[in-house]
Structure 1
Amino acid sequence: MSLDLMESTANGTGNEKDTLYMLGGVALMVFGAGLILSNPTIRRYMSQFGVGNLATAVIPDVERYFKLRAM
């Protein structure tokens, strides 16, 4: 039985490797979105669409949530 498990991970069919690739891809997407949104030109375009105001409107709600959670 242990030989079967070793063969499956040696062939690259292990779940750990797939999970690692998936989490690495998600991390790269978040990092890329952060890089794009940190550009001042992009932020100016986003504020024209109203997304910039959404972020400033959400911050008080998040602070209120953490205060309630700390109680």
Structure 2
Amino acid sequence: MAMDLMEAAANGTGNDKDTLYLLGGVALMVFGVGLVLSNPTVRRYMSQFGVGNLASNVIPDVERYFKLRAM
């Protein structure tokens, strides 16, 4: 009985570790982006670049794409 449980646990650990590494990497990236964007200098450059304007210009194109895809 114990050997069966050990074999079953050993077979699934590879997938579990991969998932853990993937989610940990995503969490670190989100945390890093948050740290970078909290810097006032970066915020100033982003406002000069016009990221808000870029996002508002892209939204109609995305909506049009989804309408065409739904056809």
CA distance in 2: counterparts of 1:49 and 1:27, whole angstroms: 26
Q: Unaligned stretches of 5+ in structure 2?
A: 57-71
Residue type of the partner of 1:16?
D
Identity rate of aligned residues, in percent? 63
Structure 1 residue 21: Cα displacement: 0.6
Structure 1 length-normalised TM? 0.58
CA distance in 1: counterparts of 2:48 and 2:32, whole angstroms: 21
Q: Partner residue of 1:35?
A: 35
How many residue pairs get aligned? The number is 52
Structure 2 length-normalised TM? 0.58
Structure 1 residue 5: Cα displacement: 2.8
Considering only aligned residues, what root-mean-square deviation do their CA atoms show, in Å?
2.4
- Structure with bigger helix share is 2
Is the radius of gyration larger for structure 1 or structure 2? 2
Residue type of the partner of 2:26?
V
